[in-house]
Amino acid sequence: MTPKYLRLATVAVALLVFFAIIPLAFSASPYVLNVLTNALILSVIASGVWLTFAIGRINIAQGAFAMIGGYATAILSTRYGVSFWLCLPLSGLVAAAVGVVIGWPVLRLRGVYFSMISLSITEAVRLAFLNGGEFTRGASGIINIPRPDAISIFGITLVPEFDGTSPLPYYYLAVLILTLTLLSLWRIANSRLGWTFRSMRMNEELAASIGVNVAKYRVIAFAICCFIGGVGGSFFAAFQQNIYPATYTVNDSIFAMLYCFLGGLDYIAGPMVGAFLLVISFELLHPLQQYQPLIYALLMIGFMLWLPNGILSLPLFERWMADTAPRPEEGGRAEPAGAVSKVSSTGRSGA
């Protein structure tokens, strides 16, 4: 099988497993379904971050945008009675809008400076919700967020109401959201848009010289990232039926980034692989949970040193990836995604 068909077959098998086999096997085990739903939506949120890696920015702000999406859903549904199905895309749009406003000035920064700012965005947004007064209800958060209601057209029920007796509907919805997210990212990565993003990661000055409006495209990438984060946050709000300023912390932003590193920045499935691996392994190693940040940190250092291109770059997966983009020559990915890009490229000439 050529790599192309191998990948198609892998996707087909994955869809079958997620949509049919897992629900059948674990329908009696809400715990397993809850863990998987968690992993699925964390994959969605991390997939957004993957796109900012594509333009060469290490983004540690995703927790903030998941939180904005979550609060948008919480406020719209509890206060204005908006249906969850409308809240879901709206929350994404709210997060994207905030992303554009914050991203426009902040994305001028590169490398470690952008990362530092993005880290503080997570904290700033948390504090904003904490001090939001009656609007966000401060530290006590917003509780009793309604479950997704039924969708029916002309009296025919397309989606039954989520009654909370089984986590299965949430699980299906999470699989659907992840599928759509990965499909969108796959389209972006394989279209001209993806090449434009990559060209900016490799050299923004050169991209500008061939006519790319660098400022515009990096805001587009960041807005898509925030949209995806907002949708993920919206789902979590309805899934857990509550949201607090402490729901997303700097840790969550860092984990979203870590999932990308772990899976591999070159691969659309990277964030998903990373999220599933870490979420599930920590469920299995429950007694170690208190050391989670420590183990994550060690893992991250280890991966940067020994496997800078992620798990999917292992020879084991080579057959799947054989015909994708050319490999960087000098293993340059040790500086993540060329984020520390060459500012001055006019080496040895005169002034």
Partner 1 sequence: MSVLLSVQNLTKRFGGLVANNDISFDLKRGEILSVIGPNGAGKSTLFKLIGGFIKPTAGKVIFEGEDITGLPPHVIAERGIVRTFQETTIFKEMTALQNVVVAHHLQCHATTWGIFFNSRRAREDEARFRDNAAEILEFLGLSKVLDEPAGSLPHGYLRALGIAMGMAANPTVLLLDEPYAGMNPEETDQAVELTRKLVQRGITVILVEHDMRAVMRISDRIVVICFGSKIAEGRPEEIQSNETVIEAYLGREDAALGV
Report the DSSP pairing between strands 151-153 and 142-143.
unpaired
Q: State the DSSP code for 266.
A: T
Cβ nearer to partner 1, comparing 173 with 221: 221
Among residues 193, 280, 300, 321, the one that binds partner 1 under rule CB under 8 A: 193
Handedness of CA 194, 272, 114, 90 (dihedral sign): positive
Q: What's the closest the beta carbon of residue 6 comes to partner 1, in angstroms?
A: 21
Q: Does residue 323 interact with partner 1 by CB under 8 A? A: no
Buried b (16+ CB within 10 A) or exposed e, 297-334: eebbeebeeeebbbbbbeeebeebbeeeeeeeeeeebe
* Residues touching partner 1, count (CB under 8 A): 37
Told to check if 209 binds partner 1 by CB under 8 A, we report: yes
Residue type, 128: A
Residue 133 binds to partner 1 (criterion: CB under 8 A): no
Q: Which of 161, 205, 283, 335 binds partner 1 (CB under 8 A)?
A: 205
Q: Which position among 4, 79, 108, 187 is part of the footprint of partner 1 (CB under 8 A)?
A: 187
**Interatomic CA distance for residues 302 and 297, integer angstroms:** 9
Q: Which stretch binds partner 1 (CB under 8 A): 70-78, 170-178, 181-189, 254-262?
A: 181-189
The CA-atom distances, in angstroms, between 22 and each of 13, 15, 25, 161, 174 are: 12, 10, 5, 22, 13
Among 196, 234, 247, 313, the residue binding partner 1 under the rule CB under 8 A is: 196
Q: Which of 1, 156, 284, 351 binds partner 1 (CB under 8 A)?
A: 351
> Per-residue string for binding with partner 1, 215-244, x by CB under 8 A?
x----x------------------------
CA distances from 235 to 9, 91, 118, 149 (A): 29, 9, 23, 13
Q: Round to whole Å and give the CA distance between 148 and 173.
A: 10
Helix (H) / strand (E) element for 276: namely helix 270-284
Nearer residue to partner 1 within complex by CB, 158 or 210: 210
HEC string of 48-107 equals HHHHHHHCCCCCCCHHHHHHHHHHHHHHHHHHHCCCHHHHHHHHHHHHHHHHHHHHHHHC
191 binds partner 1 (CB under 8 A): yes
Residue type, 65: F
> Taking CB under 8 A as the rule, does residue 350 contact partner 1?
yes
100, 159, 212, 304: residue in contact with partner 1 (rule CB under 8 A): 212
Q: Please report whether residue 110 would count as binding partner 1 according to CB under 8 A.
A: no
Task: State the minimum distance, in angstroms, from the CB of residue 323 to partner 1.
Answer: 11
3 forms part of the interface with partner 1 (CB under 8 A): no
> Any contact of residue 349 with partner 1 (CB under 8 A)?
yes
Decide: is 81 part of the binding site for partner 1 (CB under 8 A).
no
Site string for partner 1, 276-315 (x = CB under 8 A): ----------------------------------------
Exactly one of 198, 277, 295, 321 binds partner 1 (CB under 8 A); which one? 198
Q: Which of residues 324-343 bind partner 1 (CB under 8 A)?
A: 325-330, 332
Q: Residue 29: left if φ>0, alpha if ψ -120 to 50, beta else—which one?
A: beta
CB 149 within 8 A of CB 83: yes
210 binds partner 1 (CB under 8 A): yes
Shorter beta-carbon distance to partner 1: residue 33 or 214: 214
d(CA 287, CA 292): 10
The site for partner 1 (CB under 8 A) is made up of: 184, 187-188, 191-193, 195-196, 198-199, 202-203, 205-206, 208-215, 220, 325-330, 332, 345-351
